[in-house]
Amino acid sequence: MSQRGIAVLGSTGSIGTATLRVIARHVDRFRIVALTAFGNAALLREQARSVQPEYVGIVNRNGDGDPAWATGAECLVEAATRPDVDIVVNAIVGAAGLQATLAALRAGKRVALANKESLVIGGEFVLRACSEGGGEIVPVDSEHSAIVQCIGGRPASEVSRLIITASGGPFRDWDAERIARAGIQDALNHPTWNMGRKITIDSATLANKALEVIEAHYLFGLPYDRIDVVVHPHSIVHSFVEFVDGSVLAQLGFPTMELPILYALTHPDRISDAPARRFDPAAASPLTFEPVDLERFPSLALGIQAGCTGGAAPAVFNGANEEAVCLFLGGTIGFGDIPRAVDSALSLLGDAPAESIGDVTAADAAAREHVRHLFRQSGGASKSPAPVYV
């Protein structure tokens, strides 16, 4: 069997390291040919020593990287488009992942997409790059992986509704006032998933679920009124698909990202793997579901509204949210300021059209600048140049 060449972008993060663990169990099928990181040279060096890739890139060398490594943001596109790469695992966090997704799809690669922000901000352009370049997107996000698995190749005309599950995050039971005053450690204390800091905060505001609704809209081509969200605190059911005859399928399992990562590499095949914990319905029960509360989690409502508005609104939503999360993690603003900042950016900038990728990146930059300006004015200045969630 010939090995498939893999580029792992964002190899030093939560999804990146999980990807390396998955691939280490399947070296007969997969060979890592490229790795990239933002600035964690120590871990990148260790990974490179272990997997011996042909190409290593670090966006920000900071003095302690290997002189042989490629540097600068261009390394992401270089790694993603190499001829020896068949599958690009895009595990970069944030809007910084967009150009690599576009380039990989234009070059006809399969993109195992963890970087949902690519689809949220560049949806139409990402789909166009995919069809023009002959590439393929297989989602890594557990909910979307579940949906792909439930749809099982049936035509879109047979799907009537998607129901995306949400754990509800650490503030599921908190009242609105307490949520607004939540501290950084409270927000980083996710009940069921161990993830990078940015997505963990997004899971506390439920902005992550809004990003996932928009992601599902583009991946599966359904209008927003046929994509629902339900809170399911134990994260066992990873999502539901309702078909036109009323039948509902779900995909279940104890929470682990290793399964959706492996499936994104092997889709539509399944290969033998040893799950960390086999499924046990008795241990998983009871499975409970509750409606989502948009009043206490305004980021979710704002994001879905941005998706419905279309144009540059999803890019404004995402850019404002990324900037606000960065300011929150830096201790500059409070938790309740995150949806306030996003709301303010959308009110001012949300009507902009998106006729080109340039429009999208301009909307993203304007949203970030608006949020920085908002808090400079109110005394909470941030001088940090780049949104890095470390």
Interface contacts to ligand NDP, rule CB under 6 A: 10-16, 37-40, 59, 76, 91-93, 96, 114-117, 141, 193, 195-196, 198-199, 257, 388-390
* Nearest approach, Cβ of residue 157 and ligand NDP (Å): 28
In the complex with Mg ion, the residue whose CB is nearer, 229 or 320, is: 229
Question: What gap in Å lies between CA 198 and CA 30, rounded to an integer?
Answer: 29
Question: What gap in Å lies between CA 253 and CA 307, rounded to an integer?
Answer: 29
The residue with its CB nearest to Mg ion is 141
Applying CB under 5 A, the residues found at the interface with Mg ion are 141-143
* Nearest approach, Cβ of residue 52 and Mg ion (Å): 32
* Nearest approach, Cβ of residue 91 and ligand NDP (Å): 5
**The one-letter amino acid at 289:** F
Question: What gap in Å lies between CA 171 and CA 297, rounded to an integer?
Answer: 9
Peptide bond preceding 191 in cis form (omega within 30 of 0): no
* Nearest approach, Cβ of residue 238 and Mg ion (Å): 8
Find which of Mg ion, ligand NDP, none residue 294 binds, CB within 5 to 8 Å per kind: none
170 touches 184 (CB < 8 A): no
Find which of Mg ion, ligand NDP, none residue 374 binds, CB within 5 to 8 Å per kind: none
In the complex with ligand NDP, the residue whose CB is nearer, 37 or 352, is: 37
Find which of Mg ion, ligand NDP, none residue 92 binds, CB within 5 to 8 Å per kind: ligand NDP
358 touches 318 (CB < 8 A): no
Question: What gap in Å lies between CA 149 and CA 350, rounded to an integer?
Answer: 34
Picking from 79, 67, 74, the residue whose alpha carbon sits closest to that of residue 16 is 79
Find which of Mg ion, ligand NDP, none residue 114 binds, CB within 5 to 8 Å per kind: ligand NDP
Find which of Mg ion, ligand NDP, none residue 40 binds, CB within 5 to 8 Å per kind: ligand NDP
* Nearest approach, Cβ of residue 135 and ligand NDP (Å): 18
In the complex with ligand NDP, the residue whose CB is nearer, 13 or 168, is: 13
Place of tokens 């319905």: 281
* Nearest approach, Cβ of residue 97 and ligand NDP (Å): 6
* Nearest approach, Cβ of residue 51 and Mg ion (Å): 26
Find which of Mg ion, ligand NDP, none residue 196 binds, CB within 5 to 8 Å per kind: ligand NDP
In the complex with Mg ion, the residue whose CB is nearer, 117 or 141, is: 141
Segments of the chain assigned E as strands: 4-9, 30-37, 55-58, 70-71, 87-90, 110-113, 136-139, 159-166, 227-231, 237-243, 248-252, 290-291
Written as six digits, the tokens of 139 are 């989602």
* Nearest approach, Cβ of residue 172 and Mg ion (Å): 16
In the complex with Mg ion, the residue whose CB is nearer, 117 or 143, is: 143
In the complex with ligand NDP, the residue whose CB is nearer, 211 or 231, is: 211
In the complex with ligand NDP, the residue whose CB is nearer, 91 or 222, is: 91
Question: What gap in Å lies between CA 106 and CA 151, rounded to an integer?
Answer: 26
* Nearest approach, Cβ of residue 201 and ligand NDP (Å): 11
In the complex with ligand NDP, the residue whose CB is nearer, 322 or 343, is: 322
Find which of ligand NDP, Mg ion, none residue 96 binds, CB within 5 to 8 Å per kind: ligand NDP
Question: What gap in Å lies between CA 309 and CA 331, rounded to an integer?
Answer: 32
3 touches 85 (CB < 8 A): no
End-to-end C-alpha distance for the chain, whole angstroms: 39
Question: What gap in Å lies between CA 72 and CA 95, rounded to an integer?
Answer: 16
In 3-state terms, what secondary structure has residue 281?
helix
32 touches 86 (CB < 8 A): no
In the complex with ligand NDP, the residue whose CB is nearer, 41 or 312, is: 41
